[in-house]
Chain A
Amino acid sequence: MALNGVSLEIEPKETIALIGQNGGGKTTLAKQFNGLLKPSKGRVLVKGIETREIPTNKLALTVGYVFQNPSHQIFSSKVWDEVAFGPKNAGFSEQEIEERTKWAIGAVGLSGSEQTHPYDLDYGKMKLLTIASIMSIKPEVYCLDEPTTGQDHQGRRRVAELIQDLNESGSTVIVITHDMRFVAEVAKRIVLVAAGNIVADGPTREIFEKTDILAKAQIRPPQITQLAQALGDCGVRRNLMTVREAADSIGAMIARGKGRGSKLA
């Protein structure tokens, strides 16, 4: 059984990271959200309707799924056609298809590559293309399966910004990832999946503090959080997540100490 008695509710406009080791059920769970998989027991509701009752091609207009392996998704010989396929298939007008395609290609930074063969793009750009080809459908919910795998640091940052933009414009984003620095940047909530079940679910900051549960799943919080946790005995806040937060917090502690020191002297 890939999933066993999972219960989960996702509110509109959430940004959620599904984390956990391979084989634990993350992808199986995410594929339930857009009906690629249907539950053998229990039910999955999307906007109040059971996924069993909606054809997957209809559900795909609400919940867009970006596969981990771009070659499992890409089938056109041009970037433009790949991105235009979704809105074309959904029956939008020529003008609407054109607008959406142009917008999505621009949003992922592939403008100028419209006529390129997808397989001539480097791996990172190929992944961005697969995101664009879902964005052109403008789904309410995005499921992104390991969007940062194979990306360099710039590509990773581009995906992070893209997720923030999508979220700010009202989309719900669910991202499967192993990259905890990325999770700290983009996700407000973590759902940790292991052995077919949810073993932790809560705000990102709180989950990063559950070091026992994380260690069991062989997950290490971001380096900055690990530093904060190690310095907890010196009074550092254990739930720092970003470089900037840590600089402010630790910097203030050192400066305060120095200030006091000089007053005494």
Chain B
Amino acid sequence: MPADEVSVQVDNLTFGYPGHAYVLREINLRVLKGEMFGIIGSNGAGKSTLCKAFNGLVPQFYGGTYGGEVTVSGMNVMKHTVAELSLKVGLVFQEPTNQFSGVSTRVDEEVAFGMSMMGFQREEMTDRITDSLRKVGLEGLENRSPFELSGGQQQRLAIATVLAVKPEVIVMDEPTAQLDPVGKTEVLETMRALNREGYTIIVAEHEIEELATFADRIIALNEGRIVLEGSTRNVLTQIEQLKKIGVDPPSITELSHLMATKAGFTPEEYPITLDEAITLYRDRIRGAS
């Protein structure tokens, strides 16, 4: 990963929907190229609004009171149309069927739809369809109806429609919230694979135990403000602060915190993944016996 190439920069962003109080307040952040960047927080904390600010839907589509600056791939989102920004930033929503055009009867047509709206030529589209369906593991399902797919497949199709445009950044707003465990795994694996290929990924997620295994950095939002930010480990080990804003840390991290406060068992650092926890406790139990 290039050390310091900034992909997304947010300076002092403040936003309120028309007629409502601010839902984002003084947001400052930088996402580096190739990073997997997590956004956590309760419903209503501002995660979805922030996601929509990355491609200019906030404020261009929603209106409202807007202050500060969001820059994506060097483009100030206020100075470009959402259509232009869509070439750089792809947005994936919680409910894949809300994202589908509703007019395509085939998976490949659905991927083509977004591109045709953007004026791509047919020859170019064919390659991009093949490529993006392969990247999400839907090759072979080109002629199925999008509505016959499983939840996990539908969400991967939604990702493919975004990939076809070859954006630099993919923003996902709770992409696994409506999926069963198989679907969740499919989508999380797809995210990981895309990130390994170099895509910058920003994901709002409640699946903290999963996020712990692959996010590079995390911000926690509460009432529109960033209350925690840093490496995934730094954020997820702030047990008390996370609980205060209604976010459950990984169970095994909470376990270490409980043992530290109640039993005086204080490891050098709390584990955030199951594997780390297994290693830590195996050593301690063996060391103790």
Contacts and interface: CB of A to CB of B under 8 A. Distances in A.
Contacts of A254: 259, 263, 265, 284-285, 288
A231 B177 contact: no
B285 A235 contact: yes
Contacts of B151: 22
A227 B246 contact: no
Contact of B182 (A22, A149, A244): A22
A251 B288 contact: no
A227 B252 contact: yes
Contact of B278 (A22, A181, A230): A230
A243 interface: yes
Nearest to B258: A247
Contacts of A21: 180-182
Interface in B56-91: none
Interface string A186-230: 000000000000000000000000000000001110111011001
B120 interface: no
B181 A218 contact: yes
A70 B278 CA distance: 39
A250 B206 CA distance: 27
A260 B288 CA distance: 8
A50 to B, nearest CB: 32
A2 interface: no
Contact of B262 (A152, A234, A251): A251
B150 A22 contact: yes
Interface in A233-265: 234-236, 243-244, 246-247, 250-251, 253-258, 260-261
State which size class the interface on A falls in: 35 or more
Interface string A91-113: 00000000000000000000000
State which size class the interface on B falls in: 35 or more
A246 B252 CA distance: 9
B12 interface: no
Consensus secondary structure, chain B interface: helix
Interface in B256-289: 258-259, 262-263, 265, 274, 277-278, 281-282, 284-289
A124 B124 CA distance: 42
A169 interface: no
Interface string B37-57: 000001110000000000000
Contact of B178 (A124, A150, A243): A150
A253 B285 contact: yes
Given A247-B259, A254-B288, A222 B251 contact: yes
Given A178-B181, A254-B285, A153 B248 contact: yes
Nearest to A223: B251
B274 A253 contact: no
A89 interface: no
A71 B239 CA distance: 35
Contact of B274 (A153, A181, A223): A223
B108 interface: no
A250 B178 contact: no
Given A153-B206, A255-B263, A234 B247 contact: no
A122 interface: yes
A130 to B, nearest CB: 16
18 contacts: A22-B180, A154-B42, A178-B180, A218-B182, A219-B181, A223-B252, A231-B285, A235-B289, A236-B281, A246-B255, A251-B262, A253-B288, A253-B289, A255-B263, A255-B288, A257-B288, A257-B289, A258-B288
Interface of A: 21-22, 122-124, 149-155, 178, 181, 218-220, 222-224, 226-227, 230-231, 234-236, 243-244, 246-247, 250-251, 253-258, 260-261
Given A247-B262, A250-B255, A256-B288, 5 more contacts: A152-B206, A236-B285, A250-B259, A250-B285, A260-B289
The 4 A-B residue pairs whose C-beta atoms are closest, nearest first, are: A257-B288, A251-B263, A154-B246, A223-B251
Interface of B: 42-44, 94, 150-151, 177-178, 180-183, 185, 206, 209, 246-248, 250-252, 254-255, 258-259, 262-263, 265, 274, 277-278, 281-282, 284-289
